[in-house]
Chain A
Amino acid sequence: MSRKFPTATLVAVLSLAPVAMAGATGLATCDSGSPDTWQPQEKLTAALNEKGWQVRNVKVDGGCYEVYALDEKGERVEAYFHPVTLERVKTAAE
């Protein structure tokens, strides 16, 4: 029994991989409705760059815009924004 354990665990971990790779990360969710009603990503990027951020990448995660950037202090940030209001959304990490 015990000698089979590591193999069984690894196989279980491996077979779960495709399930968890799809979809949201769960770090934050936005109740943001249909993407038709969202403001464009470019507007968010422009606003953040305007206040001194260096936006590197914007993705959609959990109905939010997920922004990878250096902020005005040069700190690395992964920040979430509501795509309709463009308000910052707190994540599980914050």
Chain B
Amino acid sequence: MIPVWGALVRVLHWSLVLTVAAAWLTRHSPGRWHEWLGYGTLAIVGARIAWGFLGSGHARFADFVRSFPATVRYARAVLARREARYLGHNPLGGWMVIALLSMLTLVGFTGWLYTTDRFWGVPWVEALHSTLSDVLFGFVALHILGVVFTSVRHRENLVAAMLHGRKPAP
């Protein structure tokens, strides 16, 4: 087993799981819990984006964000059941990271917008925040499916790898 995911990547990942789940559960709750969870989520997203540039190894965006043609090639290989195993994120997983971070930012931003005097109570802002969060949860579901699929395909537990950070050597 070799180290793949550093402590910061893992802590930020599972912190996001917790704050997003808690934000979802408190979406109609009295008090300001939902807002603080939103700000917390944005802070974690900001830290992860910074680490994508400042970190090292598989934490870096440069390690896992690949070109459109390379990603299509990988997707075709998956369909043909002959895709390579990646230690870090595979090309589709890499774009999923970008999609999730983008959606979290948009959901957080529209949520904040709704708390400003200018946009408080404005129906389209609320609808946008809620639709974007539906899209986010759609991506979360695809992310989980991708993790399960890839774990089965390469006979490794990717959920465990995101917990202890290690994966079997290639």
A13, B20: Cα distance in complex, Å: 10
A93, B160: Cα distance in complex, Å: 40
Inter-chain contact A93/B31, CB cutoff 8 Å: yes
Measured CB to CB, the residues of B under 8 A from A are 14, 17, 21, 24-25, 28, 30-31, 115, 117, 120-123, 126, 137, 140-141, 144, 147-148, 157, 159-160, 163
A9, B30: Cα distance in complex, Å: 24
Measured CB to CB, the residues of A under 8 A from B are 3-4, 6-7, 9-11, 13-14, 17, 25-27, 55-57, 68-70, 74, 76, 78, 91-93
Residues of chain A contacted by B25 (CB below 8 angstroms): 13
The secondary-structure label for the interface of chain B is helix
The secondary-structure label for the interface of chain A is mixed
8 pairs from A and B in contact (CB 8 Å cutoff): A7-B159, A10-B140, A14-B140, A17-B137, A27-B30, A56-B122, A57-B121, A57-B123
Inter-chain contact A76/B117, CB cutoff 8 Å: yes
Inter-chain contact A76/B121, CB cutoff 8 Å: yes
A13, B141: Cα distance in complex, Å: 11
A1, B73: Cα distance in complex, Å: 36
Can you add 17 more A-B contacts, CB < 8 Å, to A3-B157, A76-B121? Answer: A4-B159, A7-B148, A7-B159, A10-B21, A10-B140, A10-B144, A14-B141, A25-B28, A26-B28, A56-B122, A68-B120, A69-B121, A70-B117, A76-B115, A76-B117, A91-B30, A93-B30
A57, B31: Cα distance in complex, Å: 20
Which of B121, B147, B159 counts the most chain A CB atoms within 10 A? B121
In the assembled complex, how far is the CB of residue B33 from the closest CB belonging to chain A, in whole angstroms?
11
Inter-chain contact B120/A7, CB cutoff 8 Å: no
In the assembled complex, how far is the CB of residue B158 from the closest CB belonging to chain A, in whole angstroms?
10
Residue among A6, A27, A68 making CB contact with B17, cutoff 8 Å: A6
A93, B33: Cα distance in complex, Å: 12
Residues of chain B contacted by A17 (CB below 8 angstroms): 24, 137
Residues of chain B contacted by A26 (CB below 8 angstroms): 28
Inter-chain contact B28/A3, CB cutoff 8 Å: no
Inter-chain contact A14/B137, CB cutoff 8 Å: yes
Residues of chain A contacted by B31 (CB below 8 angstroms): 93
Residue among A7, A55, A76, A92 making CB contact with B30, cutoff 8 Å: A92
Inter-chain contact B21/A11, CB cutoff 8 Å: no
A76, B32: Cα distance in complex, Å: 13
A70, B163: Cα distance in complex, Å: 46
